[in-house]
């Protein structure tokens, strides 16, 4: 019996863990897509409501929404993209890092596609909190019209509190509100189920014929409506980006057992409710609730939108860390807010930027109706980018032929491209906002990447090969530097060249330590690097040794902690007798640098704003020596 019960107990434990992770993913992964019913159907009705809405149009709209969820979210993201992982991690930059390993002549194209997707996600992270919280708080107008003028101030207070508590950690927010998201989906599905009985003809929406007929009959208006219909699938990119937090199976289980059924029931319920009560088109979601339940529904919706906002803010933090480690952005301060979950991080600079961006959107647009027009472009653009990168993934990682990969993805690409075109029609109504946000971040990332390449190329021309330097310095001569006790570690990005700090130390101080280590820190194109592969050692002479540390793009580059791993190689570092030498460069713009003058200025500004390397690499502050030089770029 004991032999039989052990596997059973193990299976039971795995089941409990799967359920726990699936419930957790409902709060984090599906927070954004779960708030779409607040405004998606309402916004889709507006373009066709000026001359009255027919039953066929309502059924067609609901059919478009259900099949958008089925094709884009279920098939593309839940069933396919969750398998396109980089050692368990998802997201645009994670996929880009995976593809860069096997890129054959497409590096530049992949790079620009990747940073475009990342920049569009940042725009999404600004618009989602503003739109979601505004749409929830606007439910107060139905409780009592007197509260209409307080919608924006209440939304601002909620958003300010949300950004203020980010430094406490996402765990503090998600642990408190997490179970509320499950209640939200259950209530949303239940109220939809209740109102389906208002008009059972709404079940015709499961037939895609009505969706196609709607588009064919409506013409240009149908294309405009698609921009609003796409609001039903917003949050799918966050679903992919949060893959590493929960794993593929829990996210899939949550979608098929809770999220997809609840969304489908709610949209069907809204459609049936409007078929029975055409006057409810102004706000079908909240009007479905009886008056006694309206205020609790608004409160629950507000809590759900806070969680949705938390999901994209956390995603922006994770994406920025990936961009920094992959060399697309300058180093920034990164704080861990959990001792057990490495993914829970806080970036104060990003948090401040998002906060000001969200506040500006709330004050400029003032309502969810106005802001909805600005929303779709960033999301559809990011989805098109992901589909293009998926083509390369199928060819290079799954070894599909180009024809098979194109055949599989072309229908999806065309569908998303139509959605993107529909949203581009709203550029003049506010759609320019995400375009400007994305363009700004693309320029910043491109400038930083290009500038660092130019800087590296320029410094290599004046660098002295490390092997030649060691031979010359170890010759016995009267000009040899004085040997001093202790250990010196010189950080450099190029292990073949002599670190500038080492040259300046000998030039100005005329000393050389007994033991000298040249340390190079590299970022792998994988999320994490096993500890046994973290460090490597290569002796160069009796006094010089080359060290290398390798970190994944999802890891904190803690040099002080990683030094302990060298013990297996026979090296033991006494921090109190070890000095860390860093080269500090003052950059001077040069008209012949290869970049326009304004881009030179931008690169220098970014470099000056970067966090001190000693803080970023977690070096002991009282053991760091910085030696500076001027570099014309």
Rounded Cα–Cα distance for residues 566 and 542 (Å): 17
pLDDT at 284 over 50: yes
Rounded Cα–Cα distance for residues 602 and 633 (Å): 12
- Contact present, 492 and 518 (Cβ < 8 Å): yes
Mean pLDDT value of segment 608-630: 85
206-216 pLDDT, tens digit each: 999 999 999 88
CA atoms within 13 A on the CB side of 94: 27
Angle at which helix 402-424 crosses helix 376-396, to 10 degrees, equals: 170
Mean model confidence pLDDT for the chain? 86
- Measured CA angle at 538 (ends 535, 539), to 5 deg: 135
Mean pLDDT is lowest, of 453-462, 530-539, 618-627, for 453-462
- Contact present, 33 and 190 (Cβ < 8 Å): no
The top-scoring range by mean pLDDT among 46-50, 168-172, 319-323, 405-409 is 405-409
Q: What's residue 86's pLDDT?
A: 82
pLDDT at 131 over 80: yes
Per DSSP, 199 falls in state -
Angle at which helix 92-100 crosses helix 107-137, to 10 degrees, equals: 170
Rounded Cα–Cα distance for residues 356 and 364 (Å): 12
DSSP string, 352-373: HHHHHHHHHHHHHH-SHHHHHT
Rounded Cα–Cα distance for residues 227 and 425 (Å): 8
- Residue that is written with structure tokens 């998802």 in the block: 90
pLDDT confidence of 174, banded at 50, 70, 90?
low
Phi-psi map region of 548: left, alpha, beta (phi>0 left; psi -120 to 50 alpha): beta
DSSP-assigned beta bridge partners for residue 580: 489, 624
Dihedral sign for Cα 234, 236, 242, 247, please.
positive
Q: What percent of the chain has pLDDT over 90?
A: 31
Q: Any residues with CB less than 8 A from the CB of 151 and at least 6 apart, and which?
A: 134, 137, 138, 140, 141, 367
Mean pLDDT value of segment 398-404: 91
Task: Give first-to-last CA distance, the chain, whole Å.
Answer: 74
Mean pLDDT value of segment 4-10: 53
Q: What's residue 65's pLDDT?
A: 95
Short-list 261, 230, 198, CA closest to 61:
230
Q: How far is CA 625 from the centre of its chain?
A: 35
Short-list 377, 311, 411, 304, CA closest to 67:
411
pTM for the model: 0.83
Rounded Cα–Cα distance for residues 628 and 384 (Å): 45
Mean pLDDT value of segment 12-28: 79
Q: What's residue 175's pLDDT?
A: 58
pLDDT confidence of 2, banded at 50, 70, 90?
very low
Q: Any residues with CB less than 8 A from the CB of 524 and at least 6 apart, and which?
A: 550, 551, 552, 553
216-228 pLDDT, tens digit each: 888 888 888 888 8
508-540 pLDDT, tens digit each: 888 888 899 999 999 888 888 998 899 999 999
Q: What's residue 338's pLDDT?
A: 61
> Using H for helix, E for strand and C for coil, what is the string for 166-185?
HHHCHHHHHHHHHHHHHHHH
Rounded Cα–Cα distance for residues 188 and 303 (Å): 13
DSSP-assigned beta bridge partners for residue 630: 586
Q: Any residues with CB less than 8 A from the CB of 499 and at least 6 apart, and which?
A: 490, 491, 492, 518, 581, 583
DSSP string, 451-509: HHHHHHHHHHHHPPBHHHHHHHHTS--TTPPEEEEEEEEEEES-TTB--HHHHHHHHHH
pLDDT at 473 over 90: no
pLDDT at 171 over 60: no
Burial class, 47, CB count within 10 angstroms (exposed 0-12 / middle 13-18 / buried 19+): middle
């Amino acid at each position: 019996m004991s032999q039989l019960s052990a596997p059973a107990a193990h299976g039971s434990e795995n089941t409990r863990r799967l359920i726990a992770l699936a419930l957790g993913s409902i709060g984090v992964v599906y927070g954004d897509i779960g708030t779409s019913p607040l405004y998606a159907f309402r916004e889709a009705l507006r373009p066709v409501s000026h001359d009255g809405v027919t039953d066929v149009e309502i059924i067609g709209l609901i059919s478009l929404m259900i099949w958008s969820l089925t094709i884009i979210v279920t098939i593309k993201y839940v069933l396919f993209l969750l398998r396109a992982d980089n050692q368990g991690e998802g997201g645009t930059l994670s996929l880009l890092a995976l593809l860069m390993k096997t890129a054959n002549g497409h590096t530049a194209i992949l790079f620009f596609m990747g940073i475009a997707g990342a920049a569009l996600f940042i725009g999404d992270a600004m618009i989602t909190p503003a739109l979601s919280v505004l749409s929830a708080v606007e439910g107060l107008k139905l409780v009592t019209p007197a509260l209409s003028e307080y919608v924006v101030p209440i939304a601002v207070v909620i958003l300010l509190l949300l950004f203020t508590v980010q430094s406490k950690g996402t765990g503090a927010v998600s642990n408190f509100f997490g179970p509320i998201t499950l209640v939200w989906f259950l209530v949303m599905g239940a109220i939809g189920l209740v109102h389906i009985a208002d008009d059972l003809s709404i079940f015709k929406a499961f037939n895609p014929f009505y969706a196609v007929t709607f588009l064919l009959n409506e013409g240009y208006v149908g294309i405009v409506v698609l921009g609003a219909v796409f609001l039903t699938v917003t949050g799918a990119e966050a679903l992919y980006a949060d893959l590493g937090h929960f794993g593929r199976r829990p996210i899939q289980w949550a979608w098929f057992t809770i999220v997809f059924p609840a969304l489908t029931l709610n949209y069907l319920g809204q459609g049936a409710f409007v078929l029975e009560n055409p006057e409810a088109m102004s706000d079908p979601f909240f009007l479905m609730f009886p008056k006694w339940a309206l205020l609790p529904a608004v409160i629950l919706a507000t809590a759900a939108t806070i969680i949705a906002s938390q999901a994209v803010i956390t995603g922006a933090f994770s994406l920025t860390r990936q961009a920094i480690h992959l060399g697309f952005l300058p180093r920034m301060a990164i704080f861990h807010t959990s001792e057990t979950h490495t993914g829970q991080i806080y970036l104060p600079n990003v948090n401040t930027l998002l906060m000001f961006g969200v506040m500006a959107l709330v004050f400029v647009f003032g309502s969810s109706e106005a802001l909805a027009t600005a929303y779709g472009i960033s999301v559809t653009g990011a989805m098109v980018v992901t589909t293009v990168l998926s083509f390369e993934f199928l060819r290079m990682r799954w070894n599909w032929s180009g024809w098979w990969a194109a055949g599989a993805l072309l229908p999806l690409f065309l569908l998303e491209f139509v959605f993107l075109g529909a949203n581009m029609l709203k550029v003049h109504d506010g759609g320019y906002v995400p375009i400007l946000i994305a363009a700004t971040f693309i320029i910043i990332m491109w400038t930083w990447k290009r500038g660092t390449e130019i800087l590296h190329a320029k410094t290599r021309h004046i660098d002295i090969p490390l092997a030649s330097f060691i031979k010359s310095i170890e010759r016995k001569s009267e000009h040899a530097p004085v040997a001093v006790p202790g250990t010196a570690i010189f950080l450099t990005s190029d292990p073949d060249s002599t670190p500038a700090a080492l040259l300046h130390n000998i030039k100005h101080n005329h000393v050389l330590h007994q033991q000298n280590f040249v340390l190079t820190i590299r970022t792998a194109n994988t999320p994490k690097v096993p500890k046994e592969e973290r460090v490597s050692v290569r002796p160069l002479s009796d006094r010089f040794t080359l060290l290398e540390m390798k970190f994944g793009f999802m890891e904190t580059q803690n040099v002080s902690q990683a030094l302990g791993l060298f013990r297996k190689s026979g090296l033991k570092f006494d921090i109190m007798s070890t000095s860390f030498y860093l080269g500090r460069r003052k950059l001077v713009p040069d008209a012949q640098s290869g970049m326009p003058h304004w881009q030179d200025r931008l690169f220098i500004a970014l470099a000056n704003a970067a966090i001190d390397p000693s803080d970023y690499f977690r070096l002991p502050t009282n053991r760091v020596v910085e030696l500076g030089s001027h570099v014309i770029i």
